[in-house]
């Protein structure tokens, strides 16, 4: 199967490369913000639609103006790619996949994208346009020899770390079919409860570092704005947030890969995570769990490796239904973690029973295509 795959590595630039990257990041950010303002004003004031081609022509004119000659000091490719990213952002907005595009901030994550005409890659070293030396990349793994690098994205996060992403045309092979199926019930006390009875503990990365994060944020609030000490305090907070995000992503990747390797069919509920986060009592815990990212990882890995991911209706009464006889109780408060079926007398662990029902419903939907959301009386 032919896919687009990104490989991410950390690199350590020289002082000269830091200067070039800072200029490139700034110019790419300026073009994105400038054209976003141009397109927004054109619509709000004159109801005029400005396309990508018109912004590209406007960029060419800008680079010839005396006030914007500094745009010529960096490679033109990242500037052109900023316009493409803006066009993609508007496309996602009109397709109702995201909110309206927002302006980029110089204190946030910075990035610049280079196409094959603006970098040199020989399989071992990478050299970007406007740079004299190759990047000092720490390769944690080797890129496949058959993979063709199409674009390179250089980024800098708020913790001051530099990364390079290789987007490649790659091919993956389907994994050997297995006879296992699994149902997953996501939770907060345990991250995931499987239909085979296994309970996977939640990493709670944010909760574990919450005390340290609060202490650093209080120190930041006492620093004078614009001072070097305030900049150091912000960097410490950013570094802690980066550690939290990396730990969470590592956990989600390992768990999703394990489930894909061991099971042919994976069933789970289709959760509306954004709506669930409106509950202010649970919003932080839900965000810390990373349910949405976990489902995204399972979806693309299942597509890559020939597995099947089934998401049943979110209103299916998986917790109220007896997995042995199918009886549905009228109420099941959250404080009840174990219950006995009044019909057949089976004793159920609430979460394990829900996972088994999710698997049964997922297989029924997969095989029969039936509606697995019965109407409750």
From residue 370, give the alpha-carbon distance in Å to each of 111, 364, 373. 46, 7, 9
CA distance linking residue 28 with residue 161, whole number of Å:
19
Considering the candidates 41, 67, 324, 351, report the single residue annotated as catalytic.
351
Task: Identify which of 112, 129, 113 has the alpha carbon closest to the alpha carbon of residue 121.
Answer: 129
The yes-or-no answer on residue 185 being catalytic is: yes
Contact assessment for residue 187 and residue 276, using Cβ atoms and an 8 Å cutoff: no
Considering the candidates 16, 73, 170, 269, report the single residue annotated as catalytic.
269
CA distance linking residue 34 with residue 279, whole number of Å:
37
In the chain the beta strands, taken as DSSP E runs, fall at 2-11, 110-115, 119-121, 126-128, 137-138, 148-156, 162-171, 181-186, 190-194, 199-201, 265-269, 308-312, 338-340, 347-349
**What is the CA 338 to chain-centroid distance, rounded?**
35
Which two tokens mark 343?
């019909």
Considering the candidates 170, 185, 288, 365, report the single residue annotated as catalytic.
185
The yes-or-no answer on residue 351 being catalytic is: yes
The yes-or-no answer on residue 293 being catalytic is: no
Which positions are catalytic? Answer: 185, 269, 351
């Amino acid at each position: 199967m032919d896919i687009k795959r990104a490989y991410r590595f950390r690199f350590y630039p020289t002082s000269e490369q830091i200067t070039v990257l800072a200029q490139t990041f700034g110019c790419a950010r300026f073009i994105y913000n400038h054209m976003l303002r141009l397109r927004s004003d054109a619509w709000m004031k004159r109801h005029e639609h400005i396309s990508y081609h018109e912004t590209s022509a406007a960029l060419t004119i800008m680079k010839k103006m005396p006030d914007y000659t500094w745009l010529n000091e960096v490679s033109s490719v990242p500037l052109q790619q900023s316009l493409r990213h803006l066009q993609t952002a508007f496309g996602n907005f009109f397709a109702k996949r995201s909110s309206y595009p927002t302006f980029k901030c110089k204190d946030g994550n910075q990035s610049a994208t280079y196409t094959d005409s603006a970098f040199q890659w020989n399989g071992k070293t990478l050299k970007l346009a406007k740079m004299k030396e190759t990047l000092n990349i720490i390769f944690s793994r080797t890129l496949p020899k058959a993979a063709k690098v199409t674009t390179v994205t250089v980024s800098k996060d708020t913790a001051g770390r530099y990364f390079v992403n290789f987007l490649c045309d790659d091919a993956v092979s389907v994994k050997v079919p297995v006879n296992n199926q699994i149902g997953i019930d996501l939770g907060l006390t345990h991250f995931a409860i499987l239909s085979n009875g296994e309970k996977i503990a939640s990493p709670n990365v944010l909760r574990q570092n919450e005390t340290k994060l609060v202490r650093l944020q209080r120190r930041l609030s006492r620093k004078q704005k614009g001072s070097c000490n305030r900049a150091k305090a912000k960097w410490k907070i950013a570094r802690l947030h980066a550690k939290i995000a990396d730990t969470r992503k590592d956990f989600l990747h390992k768990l999703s890969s394990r489930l894909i390797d061991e099971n042919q069919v994976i069933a789970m509920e289709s959760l509306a995570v954004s709506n669930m986060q409106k509950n202010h009592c649970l919003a932080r815990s839900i965000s810390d769990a990373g349910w949405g990212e976990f489902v995204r990882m399972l979806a693309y890995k299942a597509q890559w490796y020939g597995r099947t991911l089934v998401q049943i209706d979110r209103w299916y009464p998986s917790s109220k239904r007896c997995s042995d006889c199918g009886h549905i109780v009228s109420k099941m408060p959250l404080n009840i973690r174990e219950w006995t079926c009044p019909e057949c007398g089976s004793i159920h662990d609430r979460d394990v029973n829900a996972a088994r029902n999710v698997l049964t419903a997922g297989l029924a939907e997969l095989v029969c295509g039936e509606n697995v959301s019965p109407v409750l009386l």
